[in-house]
Chain A
Amino acid sequence: MELKHISKSFGAQQVLTDISLVLEEGHTLAVLGKSGCGKTTLLRIIAGLELADNGEIWLNGKNMSGVAVHKRNAVYLNQEPLLFPHMTASANIAYGLEVRGVPASDIRRQTEQMLAELGLEDQGHKRPHQLSGGQRQRVSFGRAMIIHPAVLLLDEPFGNLDPDTRKQMQELFMRLSTAHRITSLLVTHDLKEAILTGQQTAFMESGVLTMYPDTGAFLSDPRTGGQDEMAFWKKYNQS
């Protein structure tokens, strides 16, 4: 995925300023930033849910400018694991395959396989309201990953989960995205989550994106809070 000079403003407020980046196939780019820095707008523009004022989006070598949302193959997931309430967990996971006209036998096989990968083999028949928050998030990931999207856009996906479930979900996400070679852009305001989940890291502030060549450079930037975090643990260990 490549973004070239993306800009966006809402009225007089400039939300995104000249954002350019290249994301390798199968990699996860973790974008760290505070609330209101423009992260969500960036993801929505890539998904086609918002229009950029300027710039281009390239997915798998194709310019997505003017391409309808349903033809982009860019799945957008936000903080809330939004499942279709009238469908079972299996039907939710199978939805993207059915939309693509995949034969029924293949859908069944792939859905069962995905349920097993998610650790939800015995939960496929349940409706969303019968699942826990963590299980719903798993189904949400499975539904997105089963269609092998050109890019998976994750808007603080673990923000609503308790620490234990959050850790499990981070591990599950890394395992699945590696196994299925999913290209992802994950935005978070959690420093450790950004380091853990991203092969590439970036920081966003007031609509301006800064990419880093490696984790060391990311942590060295005082704006990311990495130096403060390390100083805290160093002081804590000494005491």
Chain B
Amino acid sequence: MHRRKTYASLVVSIILAALPYGILPLMSFFGRWHFPALLPETWTFQHWGSFLHSQGAVGASFLLSLGIATCTATLASTGGLLLSRAVSYSSFRQGGLFFSLLPVTMSPVLFATILLFYFQVAGLAGTVAGVILAQMLIALPFAIIYFHSFWSVRILRLEQLSATLGSTPVHTYRYIIWPVARPFLLVCFFQTFIISWLEYGLTSVIGTGQIQTLTLKVFLYIQESNPSMAALSATLLILPPAILLFWNRRFVFKEVSL
């Protein structure tokens, strides 16, 4: 009986998790659909056609989001690895971790509103660079905290061993630390990519409405009561994380363990 319940719970969980991947693409083909009809009256490829064949707004937002998320994830993962080392091996370790946690604990919209003035003064408000910098304020602390567990005594000993064998710090990073950290870097890249990809509060405030990422587009279409375009945007929104998750499953968890 207990086993049957577990099995049923598992099946329900899988269905619920997979539901967006089925419903959202389906909804993106909806044409005319008026209340109180349960199903749409017409089906259309028009939305996907405009996305695939023209320089439409969704396509541009998709590419913009991809660029911003890739930049943020790359900078946060590599920067987080190096900064986390400095925090982990310093005498200011506890304080460093505390200050790293501070930006993550605050509401992104509130945080962005406080920072907007400084971004405007620096000429970064409403720019892609400004949005990347703003997202880094959340992604980088996450990466620092994530890599904190990586910088163990064992890694320090590996570094020291490499140095006593004649390796320069740069060579040690390239041939010892980087390969050993690779699985951690991949997971961190995935996590920070998701943070950036789905970020709404900071992006909308610091972007001042001029930087229209895909997440912002989904909300915009929902506000406009345009379910088909919202579904198309949402389908595109769940695609890259799903692909990255698939890569993670296949490669990251099979990497060398320490």
Interface residues, chain A, with chain B CB atoms under 8 Å away: 47-49, 68-78, 80, 82, 84-86, 95-96, 99-100, 127, 129, 143-144, 147, 153
Contacts and interface: CB of A to CB of B under 8 A. Distances in A.
B164 A74 contact: yes
A58 B158 CA distance: 25
A11 B161 CA distance: 26
Contacts of B179: 86
From B154, B158, B161, B258, residue with most partner A Cβ within 10 Å: B161
Interface stretch (B40-48, B86-94, B166-174): B166-174
B164 A99 contact: no
A143 B164 contact: no
A111 to B, nearest CB: 14
B158 A76 contact: no
A185 to B, nearest CB: 13
Contacts of B164: 47-49, 69-70, 72, 74-76, 153
From A49, A74, A100, residue with most partner B Cβ within 10 Å: A49
Contact of A85 (B160, B168, B169, B180): B180
B160 A99 contact: no
A70 B258 CA distance: 24
Contacts of A68: 163
B162 to A, nearest CB: 8
A77 B164 CA distance: 9
Nearest to A71: B166
Contact of A144 (B165, B168, B256, B258): B165
B166 A100 contact: yes
Interface in B203-258: 256-258
Contact of A143 (B154, B163, B165): B165
Contacts of B154: 82
Interface size class of B (residues with CB under 8 A): 20 to 34
Interface in B137-167: 154, 157-158, 160-167
Contacts of A77: 161
B194 interface: no
Interface in B176-204: 176, 179-180
A86 B165 contact: no
A186 to B, nearest CB: 16
A70 B168 contact: yes
B171 A99 contact: yes
Nearest to A91: B175
Nearest to B156: A49
Contacts of B157: 78, 80, 82
A54 to B, nearest CB: 23
From B163, B164, B179, residue with most partner A Cβ within 10 Å: B164
A70 B163 contact: yes
A82 B161 CA distance: 8
Contacts of A48: 163-164
Contacts of B166: 70-71, 73, 96, 99-100, 147
